[in-house]
């Protein structure tokens, strides 16, 4: 094993660093009022409407897609 270290620190030090801000936390939500999911990112569309990147399971399949913010509610 090598002890090579870059100007950015060791690989171990870099992997321990978190790149997310407190505002970018994963949030538990309901999609369309009944389907549980997780919002892992959010953005504002060109039309000015908020969208969330939602992860959910439907019919034993993992679905990840951008959905309109008005479809997302807190549980």
Does residue 7 belong to any structural domain of this protein?
no
Residue 60: which domain range?
28-73
Residue 4 belongs to a domain: no
Is 3 within a domain? no
Query: pLDDT at position 7, please?
Result: 73
Contact 63, 56 (CB under 8 A): yes
In a 3-state reduction of DSSP, which class is residue 74? coil
pLDDT tens digit sequence for 6-36: 677 777 776 665 555 555 577 899 999 999 9
pTM of the predicted model as reported, rounded to 2 decimal places: 0.65
Residue 38 lies in a domain: yes
Q: Which two tokens stand for residue 42?
A: 């959010």
Residues 43 and 35 sit within 8 Å (Cβ to Cβ): no
């Amino acid at each position: 094993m090598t002890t090579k270290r870059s100007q950015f620190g060791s690989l171990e030090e870099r992997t321990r660093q978190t790149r997310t801000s407190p505002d970018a936390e994963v949030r538990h939500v309901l999609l369309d009022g009944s389907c549980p999911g997780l919002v892992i990112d959010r953005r504002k569309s060109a039309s000015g409407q908020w969208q969330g990147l939602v992860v959910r399971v439907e019919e034993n399949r993992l679905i990840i897609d951008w959905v309109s913010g008005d479809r997302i509610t807190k549980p």
